[in-house]
Amino acid sequence: MLARVFFAALLLPGGLAWTASRQTLPETTASEDARVASASVAQLAQLRGTDTRPKAPDAVDSAMPTWARAGLATLAVLAAVALAPRAALAETDVQMYVGQGCFWHVQHEVVKQETGLGRQPAEITALSGYAGGTEVGSQGEVCYHNMAMAPDYGRMGHTEVVNVSVPEGKVGDFAKAYFDAAAKYPFGRADPQDRGTEYRSAIGIPGGMDGPLFKDVEAANNGRLQLVRGQGNDADTVGTKKVWVYDSNQFPFHQGEIYHQFHDDMIERYPQEYHKLKKLLVAQGTVQKVACPEMGF
């Protein structure tokens, strides 16, 4: 702001005289003095708009001291930058995960929310996987039930979840949609026939109940369900009002197998455009191959 005020002051009728008075002028003869005085009067007349004589191009600039012209040019640039519209700062995205029964159904619901943000197919981030357990395999793997003796997510205390990248200011909106769904189902989820700790209701955010985003989650819940601090390997929530809240730093997300991504639900069948997301996101590396058996059902 100071630069803008100073720049404006220089353009006032007295500004040029103030600037010129800061210059140490060499000694001149009387005729030279008269010529300089005449030029100064002409410059001031031009600035005031009272000079009726024909104006040579850049007459004022050529007579103005070099250092003054450089200063004015610098201030003009500063003023232009200060007055230019500022681009909006990009909102930070945060990683959160939600679990509410089988992850096939939950992933479809979360993708619909991402589409509501205006995201294109290649920008979808919702991935099925596992979280909330107290163990992982020797290579960090967490796998679906299998016959290959690979580390089983259920035995290690994990539940099925969907991880998504959410603008920080939209965490409350995503949480509200999650709680709205849980509240409308009599048993807390769309598929109460799936029983066991692998299907418990869960939300994971950085810091959990002690993190800065918990207030948004709590407001979205609005007292409808009981938010409980997740300890890992927690009990099933079917038929209760409980939702385990996990610190995603302590209980991180583990992506599931490729064949679990963008899958039809047990009852619902989803459109081909939804299924095509798997091939697209695998090709661009959003979905990674994991160290688990790919059974493909």
pLDDT per residue as tens digits for the range 89-135: 567 999 999 999 999 999 999 999 999 999 999 999 999 999 999 99
0.85 exceeded by pTM: no
User: What pLDDT sits at residue 242?
Assistant: 97
pLDDT tens for each residue of 240-281: 999 999 999 999 999 999 999 999 998 899 999 999 999 999
The reply to whether 14 and 78 lie within a common domain is: yes
Judge whether 295 lies within some domain.
no
Q: Are residues 107 and 206 in the same domain?
A: yes
158 and 202 both lie in a single domain: yes
What is the rounded end-to-end Cα distance, in angstroms, of the chain? 65
- CATH number, domain at 214? 3.30.1060
Average per-residue pLDDT for the chain = 81
Do 143 and 248 belong together in one domain? yes
For residue 108, being part of any structural domain is answered with yes
151 vs 50, 86, 141, 198, 224, CA distance in Å?
A: 90, 51, 7, 14, 36
Give the range of the structural domain holding residue 40, as residue numbers without chain letter: 2-23+30-83
The total number of structural domains in the chain stands at 2
Please indicate, yes or no, if residue 289 is contained in any of the structural domains. Answer: no
Give the count of beta carbons closer than 10 Å to the beta carbon of residue 30. 7
